[in-house]
Amino acid sequence: MRVVADLGRLIADRVRWRRTKRRLGSVRIWRLPVMLIFLAVVMTGVFGAIDNATAADAVDTGTMATLLSAIAGGMITLTGLVFTATTLAMQFGATQVSVRVVPVLQQDPIMRWSNGLFLATFVYSLIVASDMASDDNRAPIASGAFALFLAFASAIMFVVLVSKVGRILNSTRLLRWIADEGHKTIKRTFIDASSDPAAAAVAAPSPSYGTTDPGAPMTLVRLRRLPSKGRVLVAINLPQLQRLGTRWGVQLDVLPRIGDFVAYEAPLFAVYGVSDDLNEIRQRQLLATMCFGDAHRPAVSPSAALQAIVDVALKALSPAINDPGRAVQAIDHLEDLLLLLAPRVRTDRTLEVMSRVHGYRRTWNDYVSLATDEIRHFSTNSTQVQRRLRALLLTLQASTPQAQHPPLVERIAALDQQVRTEWKTDLDIRLASVADPQGLGSESGSQSPTTAPDQTDNPDPGASPG
């Protein structure tokens, strides 16, 4: 029974690892459009055979030729619009949002499907029209009907594409999309920590904490064969590393973290307990446990989602844009993700499931630092952002146990010092020293039990809330 259970666990781990690599790997943008174009060429032959088998003269050949020409011309125009929309989305993502979002926008299924469908419709209509030129006595009814179907499908896809581009250009919707990706990543990373430790280790953003014997013989495994899909580490197959370490009787230290760019000849593993260099086969087995991509995007790890949202806030606070309102919206989503992370990180730190695999694992302090420190540095002369950031820290402090308070208390003290140094008048100091979930929604700030003043926003009982 134990052998069967081990075999089942091995198969499940391999299936999960393949799904992870497929989800996080880079998508070739050209593959889907080219496949649809070849499919369109095949369909011309299929419907041509149907037309030959069922000869009909219900439609004038001139009318059919005009229809096909109109469809072909419209599709090539829509293809140009797709290219323009993709370029605009990538430019907006790079300049206004985050470079971590650009690969996601570029590989978006709607962009690829719309481009492929428009080109396939164009090629199909062009081939059918050219076939009609060689046969003036017959109008291809079935081929023309399928061309009309493709035209209607392209019209629907165009509406979906316009809606998608509108969501991309709307920073509020884009922030919500990044936050949703962060939610999925957090739940995928930590959700099974209590019920299935091995599964939690697969999805973990980086290996668990551990110690190795410094006196044991050590061999470094370096990156000497460059990955074809990028050099950013996006996933590690920890159960497979655990099995390899157990089989070889060694301890494995994973040196890079998830999200690190791994340069050529950079060390990947420190193998303790091996007196000689590992052979080529074992090195390849170790390298096969790592998945590389082109960017540390929100779907990779919780830290990537936090970094992408912070990038939005930093661009909003730059002198060229100067939009503190957007920065406040970004902090809203950062607070949401940190509240989701806090209990999961706390539980996950107590697990010791990888006895043979060690390395660095992000802590609660790391996540708090990623989400707040850069924004705090860029919040100079912005009362709105400082108040919202203070509200985030106080909310986390009220929602987490005492063990997770030190990084929060330290940053609240840093905010206090920044306010005293930066603002000169008593009014500005008082305004910047209170917490406000809206940034500057009221003079008194937050009305939470820990920070609310004695008076209310509406001293007049008959007044309606603003």
Radius of gyration of the CA atoms of the chain, in A: 29
Q: Is residue 55 part of a domain?
A: yes
- Compute the mean pLDDT over every residue in the chain, rounded to the nearest whole number: 82
Which residue range forms the structural domain that includes residue 125? 21-169
Position 59 scores a pLDDT of: 64
Please check the confidence at residue 386 and state whether its pLDDT lies above 80.
yes
Burial of 136 (0-12, 13-18, 19+ CB in 10 A): exposed
Position 446 scores a pLDDT of: 66
In the numeric block, which tokens belong to residue 347? 């539980």
- Quickly state the pLDDT bin for 156 (edges 50, 70, 90): very high
Closest CA to 69 of 149, 155, 147: 147
- Quickly state the pLDDT bin for 409 (edges 50, 70, 90): very high
* CA 154 – CA 271 distance, rounded (Å): 55
- Among the candidates 116, 151, 169, a domain finishes at 169
Q: Is residue 406 part of a domain?
A: yes
* CA 88 – CA 315 distance, rounded (Å): 18
Please check the confidence at residue 195 and state whether its pLDDT lies above 60.
no
3-state helix, strand, coil in the chain (%, to 5): 60, 5, 30
In the numeric block, which tokens belong to residue 378? 């860029």
Position 41 scores a pLDDT of: 92
Q: Is residue 330 part of a domain?
A: yes
Please check the confidence at residue 422 and state whether its pLDDT lies above 80.
yes
Decide which of 265 and 458 is more confident: 265
H-state helical runs in 296-363: 302-316, 324-348
* CA 100 – CA 110 distance, rounded (Å): 19
Given phi > 0 = left and psi -120 to 50 = alpha, else beta, which region is 144? alpha
- Quickly state the pLDDT bin for 212 (edges 50, 70, 90): low
* CA 237 – CA 226 distance, rounded (Å): 19
Closest CA to 396 of 432, 431, 433, 435: 435
Helix (H, G, I), strand (E, B) or coil at 150: helix
Mean pLDDT of 150-177: 86
CA distances from 260 to 41, 206, 292 (A): 44, 11, 10
- Among the candidates 122, 141, 169, a domain finishes at 169
- Quickly state the pLDDT bin for 93 (edges 50, 70, 90): low
Mean pLDDT of 449-460: 44
Q: Lowest-confidence range among 51-55, 280-284, 347-351? A: 347-351
- Among the candidates 122, 140, 169, a domain finishes at 169
Please check the confidence at residue 149 and state whether its pLDDT lies above 90.
yes
Position 397 scores a pLDDT of: 94
H-state helical runs in 54-101: 61-92
Please check the confidence at residue 60 and state whether its pLDDT lies above 60.
yes
- Count CB-CB contacts under 10 A for residue 278: 18
Position 463 scores a pLDDT of: 44
Decide which of 5 and 245 is more confident: 245
Count of domains forming the chain: 2
Decide which of 71 and 134 is more confident: 71
- Return the sign of the alpha-carbon dihedral for residues 353, 355, 358, 364: positive
Helix (H, G, I), strand (E, B) or coil at 147: helix
CA 281 to chain centre: 33
DSSP 161-223: HHHHHHHHH-HHHHHHHHHHHHHHHHHHHHTTTTT-HHHHHHH-SSPPP----TTS-EEEEE-
Q: Is residue 311 part of a domain?
A: yes
